[in-house]
């Protein structure tokens, strides 16, 4: 599958933002990471000073995973629809916080195990990756294209910043398998507590990733085959979102292990796409530390959150809005002379 070449963010706008920060009536370097965020946003928007994101859009990609039957999550298999309902009813953490940050939410059902009316639905749950492929080759391509289509729909409708997120019981297991495959790190060094599993759950999860990895390792240089073998409909769709956002020159806030794993695959498919991504926050999950190291990206904050539904990103989003306003509205030394 071919993708258009990724155009990098605007270096001229970034240089202008750096120069403007040097003129502000604040101690040199006094704004720290906020200054860096403003410069990143200026480059992504291609203008200095940048505008605060006015229409940030959270894309919650939902799917079930066959591997949940192996007891790798604290939640029971089949609980994902209830989690989706909580997002839609504004009782999930991410939907409680999103309005505070000015972000709107769209749930994209690519793989829930039910009859779906979502036009982007690919299949009813992904295969159990410890002994079978997550997807067929055709399904992997459809899921990837679904992610790309969602980005086109949202950007065409006016979204100026995207926050991809995931919702699915067991999703961090295939995500961990992908990270392990792409970094060469053994499963025991990748597996975290995910949904809050105990020691027995941790051992079941490590065994599941170990078995998935045996099947995935031969395909490390084949991103689409890797998604088919050890990923899932959600991971493939998230990969498509991350690639297409870069194609459409739209900044992305990355948050959580599942999106992080998809980012590693997207980086393989479309070199240069990572320049359009900002990692919102780190994670206690060992695999997320490997993602950050692999992509050479630094998180904005360390909130100690393991959620993958975008809660961390909507928490950090106001910092981006503040960074833009600081660059645009702070007085310069000349103004005060």
Q: Structure pTM? A: 0.97
CATH number of 56-316: 3.40.50.10210
* pLDDT at position 337: 77
Q: Which of 272, 283, 226, 258 is nearest to 6 (CA)?
A: 272
* Residue range 128-177, pLDDT digits in tens: 999 999 999 999 999 999 999 999 999 999 999 999 999 999 999 999 99
| CA 263 to each of CA 114, 174, 296: distance values in angstroms, whole numbers, following the listed order | 27, 14, 12
Examine the pLDDT at 2 and tell me if it is beyond 90: no
Label residues 141-178 b or e (16+ Cβ within 10 Å = b). Answer: bbbbbbbbbbbeebbeeebbbbbbbbbbbbbbbbbbbb
The pLDDT tens digits for 18-70 are: 999 999 999 989 999 999 999 999 999 999 999 999 999 999 999 999 999 99
CA distances from 15 to 19, 31, 44, 319 (A): 6, 17, 12, 21
Q: Residues 257, 172: contact at Cβ < 8 Å?
A: yes
pLDDT in tens, 199-226: 999 999 999 999 999 999 999 999 999 9
pLDDT for the residue numbered 194: 81
pLDDT at 4: 84
Break the chain into its structural domains and give their ranges.
Answer: 11-50+324-336, 56-316
Match 């990143």 to its residue by tokens: 40
pLDDT in tens, 110-121: 999 999 999 999
CATH no. of 11-50+324-336:
1.10.1610
């Amino acid at each position: 599958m071919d993708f258009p070449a990724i155009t990098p963010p605007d270096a001229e706008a970034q240089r202008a933002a750096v120069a403007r920060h040097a003129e502000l009536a604040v101690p040199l370097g006094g704004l720290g990471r906020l200054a860096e965020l403003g410069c990143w946003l200026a480059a992504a928007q291609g203008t200095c000073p940048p505008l605060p994101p006015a229409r940030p859009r959270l894309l919650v990609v939902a799917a079930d995973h066959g591997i949940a039957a192996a007891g790798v999550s604290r939640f029971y298999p089949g609980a994902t629809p209830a989690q989706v309902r909580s997002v839609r009813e504004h009782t999930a953490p991410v939907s409680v916080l999103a309005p505070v940050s000015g972000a709107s939410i769209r749930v994209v059902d690519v793989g829930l195990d039910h009859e779906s009316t979502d036009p982007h639905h690919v299949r009813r749950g992904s295969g159990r990756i410890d002994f079978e492929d997550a997807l067929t080759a055709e399904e992997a391509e459809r899921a990837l294209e679904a992610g790309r289509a969602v980005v086109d729909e949202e950007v065409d409708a006016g979204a100026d910043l995207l926050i991809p997120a995931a919702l699915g019981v067991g999703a961090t297991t295939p995500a961990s398998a992908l990270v392990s495959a792409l970094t060469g790190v053994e499963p025991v060094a990748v597996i975290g507590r995910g949904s809050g599993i105990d020691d027995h759950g941790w051992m079941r999860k490590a065994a599941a990733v170990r078995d998935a990895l045996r099947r995935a390792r031969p395909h490390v240089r084949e991103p689409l085959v890797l998604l088919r073998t050890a990923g899932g409909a959600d991971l493939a769709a998230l990969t498509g979102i991350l690639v297409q956002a870069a194609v459409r020159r739209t900044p992305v806030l990355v948050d959580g292990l599942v999106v992080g794993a998809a980012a590693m695959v997207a980086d393989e498919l479309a070199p240069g796409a990572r320049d359009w991504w900002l990692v919102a926050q780190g994670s206690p999950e060992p695999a997320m530390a490997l993602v950050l190291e692999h992509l050479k990206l630094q998180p904005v904050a360390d909130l100690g959150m393991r959620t993958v539904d975008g809660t961390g990103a909507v928490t950090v989003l106001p910092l981006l809005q503040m960074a833009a306003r600081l660059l645009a509205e702070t007085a310069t030394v000349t103004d005060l002379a």
